[in-house]
Structure formats: C-alpha cells, structure tokens
A and B are shown apart, each in its own frame.
Chain A
Amino acid sequence: MAGLTSNQAAPAVAPDGAHLEILEVGKSFGGTRALDDVSVTITAGSVHAFVGENGAGKSTLGKIVAGVFPPDQGQLALRGEIVTFRSPREALARGIALVAQEVAVVPRRTVAENVFLGTEPRRFGFVQRRRLLERFDRLVAGAGFELPADAIVGSLPLAKQQQVEILRALARDAELIVFDEPTAALSAIEVQRFHEIVRTLTRSGRSVILVSHFLGEVLALADTITVLRDGKLVKTGPAADETEDTLVAAMLGRSVSRTYPPKQVPPADAPVALTVRDLTAAGVSGASLEIRAGEIVALAGLVGAGRTELARAIFGASPATAGEMTAGTSRLTGTPLGSLRANVSMIPESRKDDGLLLRRPVRENVSLASLPSLGRFGFVRRGVEATRARDALRKVAAADNLEATPVTLSGGNQQKLMFARALLNKPAVLIADEPTRGVDIGAKRDIYELIVGLAAGGVAILLISNEIEEVLGLAHRVVVMRGGRVVAEVSGDNITEEAILAASFGRASSAA
C-alpha cells in the first residue's frame, strides 16, 4: 500500500481556519471503549488542550491524530481533506508530529544527528556533515531556543532532550505538533521555557495539541480546551471561559473543589523523628534538617537542586560520604535495609524503575520490604501475608486484588501499592518522592488524605513534589534546596509560592 491514502471522497468543506478536524472518532482496546464518537476541530495556529482524568482518552486521541494507531470509527480531515494514517510516519509525511511523554532519542548520538535522524543530507550514501550543520543552525535560529549541535543527547537534561524532539519535528516541516504530557518531568523554570517554545511555534503559524494533567498550565497556554471523560467528549470551548474548578467539575462529572485536607500542625514539643546532620552525597553538600513526629516537611527547589538526591541519601538508596542521620533513637546506617529496620520507609520517585515488581502479584509487591516479619524459619507465612497485605491496601484505599500484577493497575493504584508497602513496615518516618506523579485527580485526593492521615497518626513525612500547589497545600514546613544545599526554610503562613520560588532561584526573599 502507498504510504498514505487520501480517500476518494470529496474533501469536506473546511470551516475557516480549521487545521484538523476529528470527526466522530471511536476507538476500543480489547473490550474497553477508549474513545466514543469524539468530534473536535483544531484551529490553525492555535494551542488546543485535551484534558481529562487518566483513562479519559485524551492520550489516545492525541495518538490517533499522530497516526500511532488508527481510529476504529470516524475520520480525520486535514485542512478539509479526509486522511488516513497507518503509522506515525504517514502522519509525519502530512506534517503531524508527536512528542511523546517519554522522549524517544538516540542517547549516544549528537543533537544534530538525532534531529536529522533518517533525513540526513546524503550524497552517495555518505552523510554530508557540513550541510547537516548548516541546516541545523537555520533550524535552531527559527525555533527560538539554543541547543549545541555536537552535544551527546544522553548527557543532556530531559528538558533539552525534549527540545531535540521538537527540533526533529520541525526538521520534517511539522505543522501540527502533539505534545503528550510534555511537562510532567520538568522543573518550574524548564516549564516556563517550554511554554515560550510553544508560543513561538504558534506565532509561526503552527498548531499545537497539548495533552496535559496540569490544569494551571492548560489554562495559561491553551486557546481552546477539550474535556474528555470516559472516552466521551464533555465539552470544547475557549480557554478564557474556563477555570480550574470548571475543568475539574467537567472532568469528574461532579463538582469537586481541589482543596487539601486541613493542616494539623503537631505541637512544638513533639519528639524529633528524623535528624539529618551535615549530610554529603552526590548532588548534596552538607544538608541538615529535622522532622518532628506528625510533621509534614516538603523539600522544595528546582529540578537538580538535590532534593531527590538528599532523600535517597537519607534512606540509603545512594551512598553518603559524610554526615549523620538518626531516626528516633537509632542511627541510620545508610543502607535501605538499615533504614527499614529503623522504621524509615521511602516511596521512590519512579515507581516503575525503583519500586514495582511489575510481573509479580500485588501481594508480593506489598510484602516485599516486610518479609522478615512475615516469615517463620525462613518460610513466608502466606496466610498472614495475605491478611496484612489486604489490610494495608484497604488503608490506602487501593484495589485489593492480591493476585493481580501491577502491570494491569492504573497509575493511582500502583502508587497506592507503594504506600501499602511502606505502611506494612509501620513507618515512623516516611519519605515520599513525587507521590502523585502520573496519578489521576481522584487518586491524588486519596493520597493527600493518606499523607495527612499518616502525619496525624504521628508519622514524620518528608515530601518532594514538583507541583508547587501540593507543597503549599500539604506542608507544615518547607525546606528549600539550591545547588545541593539547604538554603532556606519557611513555615506556617510564610509558606507561599513567591517565598519558595524566590529561595529556589536564590533571590532575596522577604518572606523567609
């Protein structure tokens, strides 16, 4: 078959300025209806956001537009002409590119090589390096951001790798770029830069589809917002008519204000549960902090400030070169096993990479860190294990199908599973690194309740989150890091976005 089949049907008449029309599109996976009769028009030169809970179908819709999979029903009309894409390659040939959540670059090659991968200027089968660099310079000049052509892509931060993908799309004359959760893993300042890039794209007449969890970002960036719920279109309208509350209500089908459980600050004489003195590790230099029982302390700072590094060094996930840590009465040994024995638990930043045994049953995932206490003579007491695992899962409001594998669970249930594992160890200190990343709004609420409930029960919590709202909504005290050091601390009413950002960027702050 040819790379692209333009249907013989007479082109539908394009409404003014329509770049792409999604016409009554439906899609099923197995028995699940992922999309049902969705029609949306993307106006040329605009930013169009798809929002919805996990599973609402927003990602699926973005992928259908970009040719990742074809719709089961319905059609796409590109500038009035019905088109069918069988692969991302066919979509790209018609100027539609996808920048996926997880960047797809060749890490060991240079920026320029990645950008022109597959489209290198060639003569007699040899890549013409000089022409390639000339084309690269021209491309970068038009894109509005800087990237070194010779840098090895794998050594660049994620935000820059994403820019490599954007350049790659531009190098193929993409006119419509679909971004799937582009800012989920970026720091605040990188997000700002990304927003500028998107605005530059639309100013040059390109259209952008933004699939995002972050309502603040969607409201700031999008011209039009489409809300999906359970695969169905809820509404499409100008972003100016929406607020976070109206969007959440539309996404959930009911009105839920995005509030946090009330803060219960522990008394000032509550015992100190975790003490860290002059801790030095890769990315951390001489950090000290204290957390009292029942206190929620958030680590704030830009990506790369050393927050995750500090958390990992406290738990013993990565080695510390100097410093002292005490939990309750026990000195921490700087190994995960020693920390767990001292009732310090950590929920790692990436549950898939560092947390889950994706193909082992939920039961075994929950009990992993507590097996010594569940065993007798080296044998696992299966009955006790099942009971305790089920209890822990109920406490965290997770599905308690013990024999399912985590692969089949939603992001929210996977994260709750990580909490259940931590709970089974009866933590006195809980380190939670990005506990709501990739989790839908309903599960987020559950996790907030859980964190607040644990703290109310006397657990000292160290929270890391890139969502500043979470920090504001949950933390009793905020410790700000910059360049691997603890640089400021704000508590109580002084916890404001301005104070945290000012300290993160190293500007003088009146609030701190």
Chain B
Amino acid sequence: MTETTSAAEAPAPSATSRARALIGRGGIVIPFVIAFVVLSLISPPFLRFQNLANILDQQSGIIIVAAAGTLVLIAGGIDLSVGAIYGLAGATAAQLAVSFGPPVGIIAAILVGLMIGLSNGVIVTRFRINPLIGTLAMTFVVGGIGAIATHGNLIVVFDHPEFKVFAATKIAGISSAAWMMIAFAIATAILLSRTTFGRYVYATGGNAEAARLGGVRINTVRVATYALSGAAAALAGTLDASRVLSAQASAGDFLTFTVLTGIIVGGTSIMGGEGSVQRTVIGCLFVALVANGFNLLGLDPYYQQITLGIILLLAVGTDAWSRRQA
C-alpha cells in the first residue's frame, strides 16, 4: 500500500487530489461526450437515428459480455475465456436451432456458457489457480472443443430465418439484440449497486480477507461472477449468430480484448474492488464511437488500432494516477 505514513498525518484534499477523485470517478464521461460532439460536427450522417441504432446493435454482444465481465473484475478476477465461450455458444445455438428449433438452441447455448463459467469459478477458487492462467487455459480447451465440433467450418443457417427473430426483431426501430443488451446492462448495474450480492462483489475484490472476516462467502461470490460471465458470453455469441444466421467457433478470438478494453477504458480497475457497469457501457460505446468515426471519416483502420492502444494505455495510466495518494 502507498499509505505508509502515520494515518492521521494524511493531508487535507488538495486541488490535485480533488482532480484525482473526479477523474477517478467519472472520467470516461468527458472524452465520451467530446467524441460524440466532434463526430456530430464533422460527419452529418453520424447523428442519424439509423447510424446510432446500428452502433447499439453492433455493440450489443460486446456490452453484454463487458457488463458481466465488470463484475468479474470488481470481484478481483478476470475472465479471458469469454471469446472462446462466445464462439462455441454461437456454433452450438446455430447447430441446435437447425435440428431442434431456435428456443432449444438458444437455451442450450446459454447453459453451455453457464457451465463453462461455473468451471472457471471452481478452477479459480477451489483449485486456487490464478484467474489469468485458469481462464486462459479454458480458452484453449473451449476453443479446441468448438473447432472439433464444427470441424473448423463456418456453420451457415441462411435457410432457417426463424433463428434470426431472436436478435433482429425491430422494436421501436431498435433491434431486439440491442434491447436485450439494454435490459442486461440495467439488470447487472442494479445487481451490482443495489443488492447485497453487489456489495459482496465489491468487498471481495477490494479486500478479500476483510470480506471473509465480515461473513462474506468470497468463493461463492467469485464463482457466481464467473458463471454470470460465461452465460453472458454465450448469450452474446447466440445473438450475433442469430443476427447473421451463421456461426464459427473462432468468431470470438478478438472479442476478449475488445471487451477488456471497454471495461478498462470505462474506468473499472483491473485491481478489483472498484468500478461500475454504467462506466463499462460508456467505455464500450466510447471505443465504438472511435471506430465508427474512423469509418465515417474513411480513415485507415490500422490507425484505429493504434488509437485504441493509446486510449487503453491512457485509461490504465489515469487509473494508476487517480489511485496514488499525495
């Protein structure tokens, strides 16, 4: 800890420390608003309802995974296997939707994700394997299973348009996938900020020993966050497979990084104990805005990657800075 001086000699908050608190708490909102305004000004098509609805639709999967991942991170863990789960679930849902109808496919896929998430939780808690390594290993295992089950092929279900209803039904001009994302984000936000379980998530990640001595079943809390993350990744994979009526086990290979970027840029700390779903949603949308802006302006997508990398570093640097005590 940084606080090695006698506790009572802590100085009163200065301008710098107030700035730290402000940026630590709500920082992502400012760049988000700036990006939004700039894009509206330089690219008229940006503000069109259709463009905004498209952004929401495209981000629905990522935000669902990131909302659940926020809980994992706050509880002091990390889930690298979401991309693999996303891919396997999409393939499972598409395949089973063909044979047994979409409801069976969708439910089965989400159950698969839930089970993998539970396994992650048990690996990390019961067997005390570092979550970075445990879920990385799970990525390979799940990715391998997906590749074997699909023979590495793209599963195409164009001839089953009924599967598309799940993600692509328009309600008030916005896709059902986006509505589900909004509902999921609100539900996880309430879970985290208003419930006893949410408090335990913060306590577990903030100071696991204090939480344990406070009567919190920290392992149960951790397992629950991984289970939720697995189920969310499966829901996202299913939605995206439904939207395009095709699926591939390797479809989520890059998703894990996109999701982590959104969470971290939003300001949830990789150290655990701090963060919120609201911030993650804004973080993901900010990343999406940057990408959307590059597209609208016709810029080389490689610059987009460089920009993302820099934004991520800035986010982590800001987090570290806001944690420092004067």
Partners in one complex: yes
Please list the residues of chain A having a beta carbon within 8 angstroms of any beta carbon in chain B.
Answer: 28-32, 34, 53-55, 57, 59-60, 63, 100-102, 181, 315, 317, 336-337, 340-341, 346, 348, 352-360, 364, 367-369, 371-372, 375, 378-380, 382, 407-412, 414, 421, 438, 440
Which listed residue (B7, B197, B211) contacts A409, Cβ 8 A? B7
- 29 CB < 8 A contacts A-B: A29-B9, A30-B11, A30-B12, A32-B11, A32-B12, A34-B9, A34-B11, A53-B8, A59-B6, A59-B9, A102-B4, A181-B6, A315-B213, A348-B213, A355-B210, A357-B203, A357-B206, A357-B207, A358-B206, A359-B206, A360-B203, A364-B203, A368-B203, A369-B214, A378-B196, A410-B7, A411-B6, A438-B6, A440-B8
Q: A30-B12, A57-B9 are in contact. List 11 more A-B contacts (CB 8 A).
A: A29-B11, A29-B12, A54-B9, A55-B6, A59-B6, A100-B4, A340-B214, A358-B3, A368-B211, A378-B196, A411-B7
| Cα distance, A11 to B206, chains bound together (Å) | 52
B215/A336 in contact, CB under 8 A? yes
Interchain nearest-CB distance for B232 vs A (Å)? 19
Please name the residue on chain A nearest to B207 by beta carbon.
Answer: A357
Which listed residue (B4, B17, B197, B210) contacts A378, Cβ 8 A? B197
A356/B11 in contact, CB under 8 A? no
Interface size on B, residues (CB 8 A): 38
B1/A352 in contact, CB under 8 A? yes
Please name the residue on chain B nearest to A410 by beta carbon.
Answer: B8
B9/A355 in contact, CB under 8 A? no
| Cα distance, A315 to B5, chains bound together (Å) | 30
| Cα distance, A54 to B198, chains bound together (Å) | 35
B199/A356 in contact, CB under 8 A? no
Please name the residue on chain A nearest to B1 by beta carbon.
Answer: A352
Residues of B close to A60: CB separation below 8 A: 5, 9
Known: A359-B273, A379-B196. A336 touches B210 (CB 8 A): no
B8/A357 in contact, CB under 8 A? no
Please name the residue on chain B nearest to A380 by beta carbon.
Answer: B196
| Cα distance, A30 to B17, chains bound together (Å) | 9
B8/A411 in contact, CB under 8 A? yes
Interchain nearest-CB distance for A415 vs B (Å)? 10
Interface residues of B in 1-60 (CB under 8 A from A): 1, 3-14, 17
Please name the residue on chain B nearest to A312 by beta carbon.
Answer: B213
Known: A29-B326, A30-B12, A380-B194. A360 touches B202 (CB 8 A): yes
A354/B196 in contact, CB under 8 A? no
Residues of A close to B325: CB separation below 8 A: 407
Residues of B close to A59: CB separation below 8 A: 5-6, 9
| Cα distance, A343 to B148, chains bound together (Å) | 55
Interchain nearest-CB distance for A436 vs B (Å)? 13
| Cα distance, A354 to B203, chains bound together (Å) | 11
Please name the residue on chain B nearest to A211 by beta carbon.
Answer: B6
Interchain nearest-CB distance for B236 vs A (Å)? 25
Interchain nearest-CB distance for A204 vs B (Å)? 29
Residues of B close to A55: CB separation below 8 A: 6, 8-9
Instruction: Kindly list the 7 A-B residue pairs having the minimum CB-CB distance in the complex, ordered from nearest.
Output: A29-B11, A30-B14, A54-B8, A410-B8, A30-B11, A411-B7, A55-B8
B9/A380 in contact, CB under 8 A? no
Interface residues of B in 196-239 (CB under 8 A from A): 196-200, 202-203, 206-207, 209-217
Interchain nearest-CB distance for A35 vs B (Å)? 10
